[in-house]
Amino acid sequence: MSVLALPASALASLGRATFNALAAIGRIAIYAALTLWHIVRPPFYRREFFTALMQVGWLSLPVVGLTAIFTGGALALQIYAGGQRFSAEAVVPQIVAIGMVRELGPVLVGLMIAARVTSSIAAEIATMKVTEQIDALTTLSTNPMKYLTVPRVLAGFLTVPLLVGVGDIIGIMGGFLVSTEQLGFNRASYIKNTVDFLQTPDVVSSLIKGAVFGFIATLIGCYYGMNSGRGAQGVGSATKNAVATASILILAANFVLTSVMFGS
Amino acid sequence: MIELSRVAKSFGKNHVLRGVNLTIPRGQSMVVIGGSGTGKSVLLKSILGLVTPDSGRITLDGADVREANRDAFLARFGMLFQGGALFDSLRVWENVAFRLMRGATKLPKDQARAIAIEKLRRVGLKPETADLFPGELSGGMQKRVGLARAIAAEPEIIFFDEPTTGLDPIMSGVINALIREIVTEMGATAMTITHDMSSVRAIADRVAMLHDGLIRWTGPVADMDQADDPYLQQFIHGRADGPIESVR
Ligand SMILES: Nc1ncnc2c1ncn2[C@@H]1O[C@H](COP(=O)(O)OP(=O)(O)OP(=O)(O)O)[C@@H](O)[C@H]1O
Ligand SMILES: [Mg+2]
Structural domain contains residue A40: no
- From B133, B154, B175, the end of a domain falls on B154
pLDDT digits (tens, 9 = 90+) for A149-167: 999 999 999 999 999 999 9
| Torsion angle of C-alpha atoms B132, B135, B139, B144, degrees rounded to 10 | 40
- Cβ-based neighbours of A31, under 8 Å, separated by 6 or more: A219, A222, A223, A226
**Contact assignment for B87 to A133 by CB distance below 8 Å:** yes
Query: What is the distance in A from the centroid of ligand 2 to the CA of A7?
Result: 47
Q: A23 by DSSP, 3-state: which?
A: helix
Residue B248's pLDDT is 62
- From B100, B119, B154, the end of a domain falls on B154
Of B38, B143, B216, the residue with max ligand 1 atoms within 8 A of its CB, to mutate for a pocket test, comes to: B38
Return the residue whose CA atom lies nearest to atom 29 of ligand 1. Answer: B37
Structural domain contains residue B231: yes
Query: What is the distance in A from the centroid of ligand 1 to the CA of B248?
Result: 12
Structural domain contains residue B83: no
Structural domain contains residue A244: yes
Q: A108 by DSSP, 3-state: which?
A: helix
Return the residue whose CA atom lies nearest to atom 26 of ligand 1. Answer: B36
Q: Are residues B150 and B163 in the same domain?
A: no
Q: Are residues B8 and B64 in the same domain?
A: yes
pLDDT digits (tens, 9 = 90+) for A224-263: 999 999 999 999 999 999 999 999 999 999 999 999 999 8
Q: In terms of residue numbers, what domain contains B145? A: 88-154
Residue B106's pLDDT is 86
pTM tops 0.95, yes or no: no
Query: What is the distance in A from the centroid of ligand 2 to the CA of B44?
Result: 9
Q: In terms of residue numbers, what domain contains A64? A: 51-256
**Contact assignment for A135 to B45 by CB distance below 8 Å:** yes
Query: How confident is the model over A33-50, as a mean pLDDT?
Result: 94
Which chain A residues are Cβ-neighbours of B147 within 8 angstroms? Answer: none
Q: Of B79, B92, B102, whose CA–CA distance to A147 is shortest?
A: B102
Confidence label for A6 from pLDDT (cuts 50, 70 and 90): low
Structural domain contains residue B46: yes
